[in-house]
Structure 1
């Protein structure tokens, strides 16, 4: 899966270092360079109008040091320090920098630090996405040239048919048909309320009436729990069973 881009700026008062790090950023696919700044004050002014995810930040600069700048910016913006002075490492740790590159460093060292940033943002963005999904109460789905609002509490189960999905609801005798894959739908559903139990079925856990051997019963419908999905389903049963 292609990682989401990380917007960044480079801040350094040495023109050669600024040019070198700029080149490293431009050759790294998941980094997007927004600006290069020759001072911390210039960077601070830029970020007032355009926040970024990450700063490659020199420490020893006139007027305002990199350490000072790191204390003034948003906590959402992470820092990788780039400096020729190893004695600043402890201060970098105190301001929770993602990494600390000691000049001169090559592209392999730069890429290692950038990958730490990529992993950090993937983790944070993943948690945010899961939280948003967990709180979701409804979906809009396209059916018959209309966007229909489907409340998730009203769903019994989703049935996949090649490129289409049947959405079976509590208050409708006939399903809603929409062009979508079960895989893409599953990513939008709260995992504490819905579970995929078969290549062709995602069920509402609250709608299950009976579990009988390797089948679940929802109303008049029997759905087999396939072998690929059985371990997760059995774990769910164990977690919610009294015996």
Structure 2
């Protein structure tokens, strides 16, 4: 986790404040700026499709305040409030903000808050992250307060369900449920064995029984290959096809 990059978004309706925080983020090696927004509505639309670790968020903004916006965020997105008003401090901690920077703040104050966020996010990701073996023959996943050993060759497919993943195994009618994002899982799985074919599915390539049009059949389950993932899937099919 020493090389952990924390993805972040800045939201502030004051251009000078927006640019100041952007400069601080850019000079902080472990922060990765994904977007800066002048209002919460734009930020909300971006975060819907782009998971973010950390939000630097102003409180007093038109249309939607920072406090209101913070209550709508995914639970894995944490907040550091940046505001000129100290009367919101108690309210900010009620919404579990990681820190509260009172404007004007300097880089030292910003860095202290960012380091606090890095410590917290690192701990959370350690807890959520599946422990994978170096050989990628098996993995351990946390399920119902236990660490279960999953042999990768037994996996039929992974199904994403909001913040959870269902792991469907051979000869097991019920899936194993674990708290983890499909994106994080995809980064760790061996590409030669598994392929993401849909926003909600990663399939075991060796367990594909049939391909019919744009659908994969595994253990009587039909999984549609979405347009986004079709090129890579077709590449796999072409490499493994024998045409007479």
Aligned residue in 2 for 1:137:
150
TM-score, structure 1 normalization: 0.55
- Determine helix, strand or coil for the equivalent of 2:149: coil
- Could you tell me which residue of structure 1 aligns to residue 101 of structure 2? 101
Deviation at 1:137, TM superposition (A): 3.4
Instruction: Name the residue aligned to 1:77.
Output: 77
TM-score with structure 2 setting the length: 0.55
SS in 2 for 1:25: helix
Q: Number of matched residues? A: 142
3-state SS in 1 of match to 2:25: helix
Contact 1:3 1:122 in 2 (8 A): no
Mind listing any 5+ residue stretches in structure 2 that lack a counterpart? 132-138, 141-146, 155-244
| Structure 2 counterpart of 1:41 | 41
Over the aligned positions, Cα root-mean-square deviation in angstroms equals: 2.0
Which runs of at least 4 in structure 1 moved beyond 4 Å after TM superposition? Answer: none
CA distance in 2, matches of 1:135, 1:20: 46
Aligned to 1:21: 21
Rounded to whole Å, the distance in 1 between the matches of 2:17 and 2:93 is: 22
CA distance in 2, matches of 1:21, 1:41: 19
Unmatched segments (≥5 aa) in structure 1: 140-148, 151-243
